A and B are shown apart, each in its own frame.
Chain A
Amino acid sequence: MPYSQDELATMNSIIERYPRSRSAIMPLLHFVQSRAGYVTNEGIETIAKLLTIETAEVSAVATFYTQYKRKPVGEYHVGVCTNTLCAVMGGDAIFSALKDHLGVENDGVTADGKVSLEHIECNAACDYAPVVMANWEFYDNQTVESAKSLVDAARAGNPPAPTRGPNKLVTWKEASAVLAGINDGLANEGVQAGEPSLLGLKLSKNGGAK
């Protein structure tokens, strides 16, 4: 399906953010994912045309970065941190339990297209370990059970809200639009910080008392 005039206008506005058009390649790839759910050949061709570069140059960028998917992922893409700290504290157990529970391997998608699973690297939330991400929103302090109920609810179309994120989990396509720099109006939803982020501040206010 070709891009609409509105979509092309958005893509052009992304290009205008930069003094040199090629810099727009990454947000444009996020935008392409927000339409199709993954980086389609058509998306690559359109970006190449808009930036007047070769499709091979766009592909070269798209395949370098792991967040760009060359095939469809689930409506809810779940990432389990299995870098050392999260892995040790339960991430390995969570990842292996989710593989069994969903019947998919790493990078697999459930047959209903609802949930995909990936093991991810450190997501900058180590004080909330073990960490699970869904559509790159934070699900802090996970257990095998909480992660299973997250994916079950996601498959039923009713995922719980992220721990630190908007009041409702957006879809993979909607999240991709945010990463393309499109404001979805949800910035003011959710907590400003979780408890671990506030620990030092609270202790300093209590004069160090625990």
Chain B
Amino acid sequence: MTKLTPVLSAHWDEKDSFTIQAYKRHGGYKASEKALAMDPDAVIQLIKDSGLRGRGGAGFPTGMKWGFIPQGDDKDHYLVVNADESEPGTCKDMPLLMANPHVLVEGCIIASHAIRAKRAFIYIRGEVTHVVRRLNQAIEDAYKAGHLGNGFDLVLHVGAGAYICGEETALLDSLEGFRGQPRLRPPFPAIAGLYARPTVVNNVESIASVPAIIANGAEWYQSMGTEKSKGATLYSLSGHVKNPGQFEAPLGITLREILELAGGVRSGHKLKFWTPGGSSTPIFTDAHLDTPLDYEGVSAAGSMLGTKALQIFDETTCVVRAVLRWTEFYKHESCGKCTPCREGTWWLVQILRDLEDGRGTEADLEKLLDLCDNIMGRSFCALGDGATSPITSSIKHFRDEYIAHLTNGGCPFDSAKSTLFEGANA
């Protein structure tokens, strides 16, 4: 009695799934044909009715976002797909694009028709050569088949290794040829986005979900998920589990259910902490195994659904080490535009390093929380907010473990025990 509902991943097990032939074998490019024959507003309404919400982390209703684009304004409109997947733990869009790039191409055609855009861009992270190849080939083949061209162009833009470009306004600056730094809002991209023109920025999975909704209808999509979180989505399970991988399921499934499907935590070990949606979402513990993994459920439990990146850590993992490493990441990726994030992440790393090495004092925990308080909500963009999540949530759930580093004069854990090849190379 599985709860799994493969839609996006339905044909990934076919060896040629990434080709246009395979995509068409399963009805590919029929949805765009249908949508192009519809009034753009009717397409927007259908997506609104389906209940589809942004799969990039924020969960904003996709149809509503499209509806914000001013109509009849005689300006160029743009669709920009965020394929910069870089949030630690997040690994859904890259396998999707490797196995089925055409579903994104078709989604772009439909979404651009709805928002009256004649040109769309896919901004993909640069560190994935083969995914770039597959997507470029798909675009080329879609042009040859006449699905692109004829007044609608799709351009693949390859990034160059900056996490901040996953933030939508930094992405737009980067796409315009500048350093990727976030913009002040308002104006929002719907009014002044790419080249100061009305722009929709959507995550890969959001746009890739569109063709199936057009093909099967809003009611079909509504039939999956929970009251306010409709549809199915990709949950990415990684870490100390027996069988990590992608699980496409209706929103609202729990970690306990997914872990059961995956064969549980690796044998002989037990769950210690996990992230529901990447490193920027406050960590959970085994007390949250039955939290419904939908937008409302995770939020009510004090975290965020984010990108549904379920990173599982067992009891061998030092939480201070884990949090320090994430914090070093945020420090490295801070774009430097605003002071709370640029200076704050630097200080967070210094203090956490001392704590991990057993050189800190208990007062440092208060200092950490004070710093987080001065970064959270005071930074230019969500990167700063995200940097505080692992710290505040880990101090909340594992304060004793921080203290243990002080009484022990250093980290009490043996890092070799957390590796998958424990003992093999020691």
Contact = CB atoms under 8 A, between A and B. Distances in A.
A84 B177 contact: no
Contacts of B94: 124-125
B91 A124 contact: yes
A143 B168 CA distance: 36
Interface string B63-103: 00000000000001000000001111111011100110000
Contact of A197 (B15, B176, B245): B245
Interface string A11-51: 00000011110111111011000000000000000000001
Contacts of B18: 187-188, 192
A109 to B, nearest CB: 18
Interface stretch (A1-9, A151-159, A199-207): A199-207
Given A26-B177, A199-B247, A92 B161 contact: no
A25 B177 contact: yes
Given A145-B425, A198-B245, A208-B2, A126 B91 contact: yes
A201 B234 CA distance: 11
B245 A64 contact: no
Given A26-B160, A82-B325, A199-B243, A123 B128 contact: yes
A92 B248 CA distance: 31
Contacts of B158: 26-27, 30, 179-181
A133 B131 CA distance: 13
A60 B263 CA distance: 49
Interface string B226-239: 00000000011111
Contact of A192 (B5, B12, B162, B248): B12
B159 A203 contact: no
A122 interface: yes
Contacts of B133: 166, 178, 183-184, 186-187
B240 interface: yes
Interface in B243-262: 243-249, 261-262
Interface centre among B18, B94, B419, by most chain A C-beta atoms within 10 angstroms, is B419
B418 interface: yes
Given A120-B127, A195-B245, A61 B163 contact: no
A203 to B, nearest CB: 5
Interface centre among A22, A67, A82, by most chain B C-beta atoms within 10 angstroms, is A67
Interface centre among A127, A145, A164, A191, by most chain B C-beta atoms within 10 angstroms, is A127
A130 interface: yes
B34 interface: no
B412 to A, nearest CB: 15
Interface stretch (B53-61, B134-142, B296-304, B401-409): B134-142
A119 to B, nearest CB: 10
Interface residues of B, number: 95
Interface string B16-48: 111100000000000000000000000000000
A20 B176 contact: yes
A179 B129 contact: yes
A198 B421 contact: no
B329 A22 contact: no
Interface in B320-336: 321-322, 325-326, 329, 332-333, 335
Contact of B130 (A29, A66, A83, A164): A164
Contact of B239 (A27, A61, A129, A204): A129
Contact of B238 (A127, A188, A207, A208): A127
B200 interface: no
A84 B155 contact: no
A97 B419 CA distance: 14
Contacts of B137: 183, 187-188
B160 A124 contact: no
Question: In the complex, which range does the number of interface residues on chain A fall in?
Answer: 35 or more
A97 B18 CA distance: 36
B14 interface: yes
Contacts of B309: 126
A78 interface: no
Interface string B200-215: 0000000000000000
A122 B176 contact: no
A18 B80 CA distance: 13
A128 B309 CA distance: 13
B6 interface: yes
Interface centre among B76, B179, B245, by most chain A C-beta atoms within 10 angstroms, is B245
A142 to B, nearest CB: 9
B195 interface: yes
A138 B130 contact: yes
A127 B88 contact: no
B157 interface: yes
A199 B91 CA distance: 14
Given A20-B195, A90-B419, A183-B136, A200 B155 contact: no
B191 interface: no
B238 A129 contact: yes
Contact of B126 (A23, A67, A162, A203): A67
B161 A203 contact: no
Interface in B92-131: 93-95, 98-99, 119, 125-130
B49 to A, nearest CB: 26
B390 to A, nearest CB: 9
B119 A19 contact: yes
19 contacts: A22-B176, A64-B179, A65-B161, A88-B419, A121-B333, A124-B86, A125-B91, A126-B239, A127-B237, A128-B91, A129-B244, A143-B425, A166-B130, A194-B95, A201-B6, A204-B248, A208-B1, A208-B261, A210-B243
Closest 9 CB pairs of A and B: A199-B245, A208-B2, A65-B160, A196-B245, A187-B137, A22-B177, A126-B238, A200-B247, A204-B4
